[in-house]
Structure 1
Amino acid sequence: MSQKILAIDIGGSAIKSGLWENDELTELPSFETPKTWDEMKAYLKSLVEEHQITEGVAISAPGAVNAEEGVIYGVSAVPYLHRFPIKQELAEFLGVPVSFQNDANCAALAEVWQGNAKGLESAAMMIIGTGIGGGVVINGELRTGANLFGGEFGYQIMNNETLETLSDLGSPVAMSKRYSKIKADEHEYSSKEIFDLAEAGDELAQEQIDQFYNALSIGIYNVLISLDPDRVLIGGGISTREDLLMNLEKRVQELLLQKGAKELKASIMPCKFLSQANLIGAVCQFLTEQK
């Protein structure tokens, strides 16, 4: 009987899960995020029993996860996960070993383990979604930082007057909200619609996309000159847009040239894993802990 690990990715609205067996991930149907910790535990127990999990459960979670301590600090869209010995409580409840790691760190681990950062000495992962998270890898290992803030690129301040951050200006979700607010025609535009409108000549859409690209380019520039990594990887749903990387690379090179850092070669690539990144990275964390 082959060993099976249950991989879980806890999101604000849904829980994704998968089975890791024979070095492969098989995705399971996703489930609406439970409203309470007791409901969450019951749901995880049902999965463990249904799939006869004996080896353990690998979890990707939001918030500032202290993997060693087994406690999640910070804040997230799932408030009941925070500030108690969650790892120990869940392991005892499920009767199998459990690991926890932050979701953006899981995405970084997946890339180092089996993706586009494999074999590199250093890499920075920038995950673009509702906000901007990320991870830093040095000597092939995750660098979570003294206060678990390593790779929280979204906190970079982009405007010293408004104190807007990279998450405020470089997130496609924030861009969509801004566009919808200015347009004020009672339609909530998606970022895809805004890109389509920009291509069709909509000036407001072009302006918002320009601002979005500028913020991300400055964010990447700051990461490059701070860490000088072998590669910057871009993740999140928007990373599948072919014009995104082309635009970012062009703008970042221009910034490096303008500021006299032209010897700094910017290697920017998309992440290999998209929707499965957090699940695969959670398994990597689990296997590392079990060693």
Structure 2
Amino acid sequence: MNLAVIDIGGTTIKIATWKNNQLQDIHAVKTPKELKAFYTVLTNEVNNIKNKTSIKGAAISSPGAVDKDAGIIRGASALPYIHNFKIVDELEKRFDFPVSIENDANSSALGELAEGSGQGCNSMAFFVIGTGIGGALIIDHKIWHGAHLYGGEFGYMIINGKQLSTLASPVAMAKRYNEQTNSNLDGKTVFALADQGDKIAKKERQTLIHPLAVAIFNIQHSFDPEKIVLGGGISNNPELIPLLNEEIKKIRSSIEIATVNPHIVLCKLKSNANLRGAVADFEQEFNK
């Protein structure tokens, strides 16, 4: 099945063609600032693909809480004009074929399940570690959206009275470090300084690692997934998994009854995970 594939971002929209079971002709366009221009850009891109390839639909990854039953993107994002109306119906009218939309973190998780670190798994938890903490839960090969579309929103988890997103975000870690040192460094640099023995960097890295390890432990013992996959820029750091495993070892040793050691892995698909996952979502939705 050939598809147009679209990954909507706050600053750019990535476009690809799914053909011969692979992503082709991947490119990006600037995200429009209002709905009319948004429709024009997407319609032109889809028509360009139609002119080259016979396609059966459009698979879309989007920010926001996607209500698939209603065909509405609820919640909020950097693109307020895409929310709270029947956007799937509007796009299907313009494209003249079926459209699927899934949340971007969920799409990324489905991509990892299809061709990445989660391949072969029946269940998986996916953490997106960036400005905040996002994520997704996969149970029986499908996204667990939850009763209120909050499935996988790990960043809201409360640890020591604070949200996980506040504690375990690399952006928040860098902010804490910069306030103490009058610096202007990013999370990647603070991580590297910790490796070099910087005491403040080590302290702030531990402030990130401990709550993230607690969250992973909690998810493992709440849903018991086969793997926990980590994504986001911080996942490029080779020290991340060893640090988390060591912290989880400490947590497990403090509990008398036997516990499960989470199988933590890094994502493989990186920037194309959303596109690949959007394809998987379309196939699940229309191959019932």
User: TM-score when scaled to structure 1?
Assistant: 0.92
The answer as to whether partners of 1:253 and 1:266 remain within 8 angstroms in 2 is no
| TM alignment of 1:33-48, pairs within 5 A | 33-48=31-46
Match of 2:176 in 1: 178
C-alpha distance after superposition, 1:251-289 (max 9, x if no partner): 112212212354313211112221111110001111122
- Between 1:169-178 and 1:26-35, the stretch displaced more is 26-35
Match of 1:204 in 2: 200
- Between 1:143-152 and 1:24-33, the stretch displaced more is 24-33
The answer as to whether partners of 2:216 and 2:262 remain within 8 angstroms in 1 is no
Aligned match for 1:263, one of 249, 259, 277 = 259
Match of 2:75 in 1: 74
- SS at the partner of 2:124? strand
Look up the equivalent residue of 1:174 and give its one-letter code: A
Look up the equivalent residue of 1:245 and give its one-letter code: I
CA distance in 2, matches of 1:284, 1:35: 28
**Pairwise CA distance, 1:126:** 1.1
CA root-mean-square deviation: 1.7
For the structure 1 residues 266 and 288, does the alpha-carbon distance in structure 2 shift closer, same or farther, using more than 3 Å as the test? same
Aligned match for 2:22, one of 11, 15, 24 = 24
Match of 1:238 in 2: 234
Match of 1:63 in 2: 64
| TM alignment of 1:141-290, pairs within 5 A | 141-160=142-161, 164-185=162-183, 187=184, 189-290=185-286
**Pairwise CA distance, 1:234:** 1.0
Identical amino acids, percent of aligned pairs: 39
- SS at the partner of 2:97? coil
C-alpha distance after superposition, 1:150-189 (max 9, x if no partner): 11111101232xxx2111111112222222233224x3x1
The answer as to whether partners of 1:237 and 1:274 remain within 8 angstroms in 2 is no
CA distance in 1, matches of 2:175, 2:34: 29
The answer as to whether partners of 2:15 and 2:45 remain within 8 angstroms in 1 is no
Match of 1:127 in 2: 128
Unaligned runs of 5+ in 1: none
Unaligned runs of 5+ in 2: none
**Pairwise CA distance, 1:88:** 0.4
The answer as to whether partners of 2:18 and 2:24 remain within 8 angstroms in 1 is yes
Match of 1:117 in 2: 118
CA distance in 1, matches of 2:176, 2:80: 27
For the structure 1 residues 34 and 255, does the alpha-carbon distance in structure 2 shift closer, same or farther, using more than 3 Å as the test? same
C-alpha distance after superposition, 1:86-111 (max 9, x if no partner): 00011112223211001111111112
The answer as to whether partners of 1:119 and 1:140 remain within 8 angstroms in 2 is no
C-alpha distance after superposition, 1:66-122 (max 9, x if no partner): 122210111112111111000001111222321100111111111222222233232
CA distance in 2, matches of 1:41, 1:194: 41
The answer as to whether partners of 2:67 and 2:149 remain within 8 angstroms in 1 is yes
CA distance in 2, matches of 1:245, 1:219: 14
The answer as to whether partners of 2:58 and 2:99 remain within 8 angstroms in 1 is yes
- Between 1:115-124 and 1:234-243, the stretch displaced more is 115-124
CA distance in 2, matches of 1:262, 1:177: 37
CA distance in 2, matches of 1:130, 1:200: 24
- SS at the partner of 2:38? helix
CA distance in 2, matches of 1:169, 1:226: 21
CA distance in 2, matches of 1:72, 1:149: 13
User: TM-score when scaled to structure 2?
Assistant: 0.93
C-alpha distance after superposition, 1:10-62 (max 9, x if no partner): 12222222221111112522222211111111111121122226322111111
